[in-house]
């Protein structure tokens, strides 16, 4: 079977242009169809990657072959004699983990945003020749990817330009590529080579980062059982001034972080920023099992032309969000008290949004395409995060299993069952598959739990469940100053309302998202003065507010609210039973 051959070249880094060529030895007799994915697995929003193709043509030897565009991302090449070559340019200026980015300092791409699919050849082996930009300025550039190196003299050497290969189109687009003058660090976890590739100006304690990641990776590999589902793994890190994001792939992850998130040389304490970065790495690494291999039936196979609907993202993203921080404490990278603080933040995040009382996590999962990934100013009032509340569902399920079975069955057992039944077989998890797996390993009837936790909008019984393992959950106000009931952002030297919360002071007064505050009781409001103005008042005080809505100055009477007791804190209980202490040790102890 002839391979479909791709070439990708950064032809104009200064203009952010990749050139891609595809050689098809035997195009379809009635005209060859080609299309670009509309979304990338792991990021559930239609992104229309084809909009970045700025020119495209096709040739049969020296003869031009007409291309007809059939829809927003599909072309048909006219029937031709012999091999077909398709050539196109892709504009790459999306500094994220989802698409492609190219300038004179580096290049990055996900295959789903640059490689057209050759219809009829989806299962055909692929070769891709990754070429460097022309010019002496790029002589030191290298390549980082987990695409297998191609055979023969033209085959790429590790970290070099040249030919790489993939078993089929799905594999081709599941290995992101970084090129440039990056820093490279290496370690092994359970005998598997791991690399950390860092692009962007940075300084970091590489030994500390690799040691911490090694512990986290080994804990996760052993949770599911050796061997790891990959022969090599690469963390592709883009360090910038201010950024955050991650996207999982079958043997690598693309990460965007602030350079201050990386561990500073000589620092001994664990900063919140570094802890957050480790949590991000842990999250994407856990996806190597949960999402990349254990996946909803709706994703088997992916249809990258349209939305793929499932009500299970609370299990795939939410359970992963539960395990990302849990892996840090259970591997010994952070202390138990640090984990409890992180858990409190997750509870706080969920409790501060009234959307949790209107939308279930199953509904949030199904509507991710139009709501979670397209949030607007009303998001806190209308949606619940299947990441954050999904993590709390995982917590509630884990503690339920542990208490009802006296520690003999845990969520770890459920994950291993899902791995055996679905991850290792390639079958997709049915919509009731997580519940069925939990019931199978525990012997418990859990339909009511899942109905209430995933289909309902009631708050989870976390206080009771945490108390059963020797922990107290309490809520307190974040401060004493009265509040507006709105989220704000600096708009130059002014303050803009970005989100107005349900039933809060701002909403009752008639203020709206987008309004720019001008004055409280005749005193100018600025980013520097807002807190001071609020601290000099008491809950219940009425304030005359002047604000611009668009270009109109408007007046409001706002009665300030007391701060809500919505900040969660999880701490060790002062009095607890030996059984509860044993369960806590089993849950958060190293293992």
What secondary structure, in 3-state letters, does 428-486 show? CECCCHHHHHHHHHHCCCCHHHHHHHHHCCCCCCHHHHHHCCCEEEEEECCCCCCECCE
Nearest partner of 155 among 170, 143, 169, 137, judged by Cα: 143
Q: So what's the pLDDT on residue 1?
A: 54
Task: Kindly state the DSSP code that residue 287 receives in the 8-state scheme.
Answer: T
Strand 233-240 with 192-199, pairing? parallel
* Helix segments in 67-186, DSSP class H: 169-172
Hey, what are 525's tokens? 């409001």
For the beta carbon of residue 532, count every other beta carbon within 10 angstroms.
Answer: 11
* Residue ranges for the chain with pLDDT beneath 50: none
pTM over 0.85, yes/no: yes
Q: How far apart are CA 221 and CA 216, in angstroms?
A: 9
Q: How big is the CA angle at 246 (ends 243 and 247), to the nearest 5 degrees?
A: 145
Nearest partner of 4 among 23, 21, 19, judged by Cα: 23
Q: How far apart are CA 324 and CA 219, in angstroms?
A: 11
Q: So what's the pLDDT on residue 231?
A: 97
Q: How big is the CA angle at 103 (ends 97 and 106), to the nearest 5 degrees?
A: 65
Residues sharing a CB contact under 8 Å with residue 439, sequence separation 6 or more, in sequence order:
445, 446
Q: How far apart are CA 454 and CA 437, in angstroms?
A: 16
For the beta carbon of residue 214, count every other beta carbon within 10 angstroms.
Answer: 17
Hey, what are 339's tokens? 């984990």
Domains of the chain plus CATH, in order, are: 4-180 (2.60.40.3650), 182-268 (3.30.2010.30), 289-472+570-591 (1.10.390.10), 486-559 (2.30.42.10)
Count how many Cα atoms sit within 13 Å of the Cα of residue 194 in the half-sphere of its side chain.
23
Q: So what's the pLDDT on residue 3?
A: 85
Nearest partner of 511 among 540, 544, 482, judged by Cα: 544
Residue pair 245/237 in contact (Cβ under 8 Å)? The answer is no
Residue pair 470/572 in contact (Cβ under 8 Å)? The answer is yes
Residue pair 175/236 in contact (Cβ under 8 Å)? The answer is no
Angle between helices 388-404 and 578-588 (to 10 degrees): 130
Q: How far is CA 11 from CA 115, 130, 154, 173, 211, in A?
A: 16, 12, 20, 21, 38
Q: How far apart are CA 422 and CA 270, in angstroms?
A: 37
């Amino acid at each position: 079977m002839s391979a479909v051959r791709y070439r990708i070249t950064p032809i104009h880094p200064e203009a952010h242009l990749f050139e891609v060529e595809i050689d098809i030895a035997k195009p379809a007799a009635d005209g060859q169809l080609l299309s670009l994915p509309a979304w990338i697995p792991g990021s559930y929003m239609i992104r229309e990657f084809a909009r970045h193709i700025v020119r495209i043509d096709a040739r049969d030897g020296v003869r031009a072959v007409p291309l007809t565009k059939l829809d927003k991302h599909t072309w048909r090449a006219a029937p031709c004699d012999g091999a077909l070559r398709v050539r196109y340019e892709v504009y790459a200026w999306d500094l994220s983990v989802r698409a492609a980015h190219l300038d004179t300092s580096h290049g990055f791409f996900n295959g789903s945003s640059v490689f057209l699919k050759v219809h009829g050849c989806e299962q055909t082996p692929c070769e891709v020749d990754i070429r460097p930009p022309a010019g002496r300025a790029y002589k030191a550039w290298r390549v980082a990817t987990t695409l297998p190196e191609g055979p023969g003299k033209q085959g790429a050497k590790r970290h070099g330009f040249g030919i790489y290969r993939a078993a089929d189109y799905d594999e081709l687009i599941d290995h992101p590529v970084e090129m440039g003058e990056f820093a490279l660090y290496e370690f092994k976890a359970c005998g598997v080579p791991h690399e950390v590739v860092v692009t962007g100006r940075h300084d970091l304690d590489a030994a500390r980062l690799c040691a911490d990641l090694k512990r986290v990776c080994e804990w996760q590999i052993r949770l599911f059982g050796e061997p790891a589902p990959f022969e090599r793994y690469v963390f592709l890190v883009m360090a910038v001034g201010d950024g955050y994001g991650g996207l999982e792939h079958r043997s690598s992850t693309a990460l965007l972080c602030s350079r201050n998130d990386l561990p500073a040389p000589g620092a001994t304490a664990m900063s919140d920023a570094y802890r957050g970065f480790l949590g991000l790495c842990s999250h994407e690494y856990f996806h190597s099992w949960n999402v990349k291999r254990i996946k909803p039936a709706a994703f088997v196979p992916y249809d990258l032309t349209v939305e793929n609907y499932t009500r299970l993202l609370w299990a795939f993203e939410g359970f992963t969000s539960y395990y990302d921080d849990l892996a840090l404490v259970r591997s010994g990278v952070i202390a138990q008290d640090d984990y409890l603080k992180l858990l409190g933040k997750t509870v706080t995040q969920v409790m501060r949004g009234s959307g949790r009382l209107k939308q279930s996590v199953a509904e949030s999962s199904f509507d991710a395409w139009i709501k979670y990934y397209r949030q607007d100013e009303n998001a806190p009032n209308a949606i619940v995060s299947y990441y954050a509340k999904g993590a709390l569902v995982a917590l509630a399920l884990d503690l339920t299993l542990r208490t009802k079975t006296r520690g003999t069955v845990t969520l770890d057992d459920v994950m291993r069952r899902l791995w055996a039944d679905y991850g290792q077989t390639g079958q997709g998890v049915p919509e009731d598959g997580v519940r069925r797996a939990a019931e199978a390993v525990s012997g418990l009837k859990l339909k009511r739990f899942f109905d209430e936790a995933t289909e309902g909008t009631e708050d989870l019984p976390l206080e009771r469940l945490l108390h059963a393992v020797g922990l107290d959950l309490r809520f307190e106000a974040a401060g004493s100053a009265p509040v507006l009931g709105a989220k704000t952002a600096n708009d130059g030297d002014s303050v803009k309302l970005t989100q107005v919360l349900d039933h809060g002071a701002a909403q009752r007064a008639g203020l709206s998202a987008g309004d720019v505050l001008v004055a409280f009781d005749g005193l100018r409001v600025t980013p520097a003065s807002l807190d001071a103005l609020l601290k000099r008042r008491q809950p219940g005080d009425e304030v005359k507010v002047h604000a611009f809505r668009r270009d109109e100055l408007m007046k409001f009477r706002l009665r300030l609210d007391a701060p809500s007791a919505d900040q969660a804190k999880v701490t060790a209980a002062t009095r607890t039973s030996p059984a509860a202490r044993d369960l806590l040790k089993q849950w958060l102890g190293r293992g």
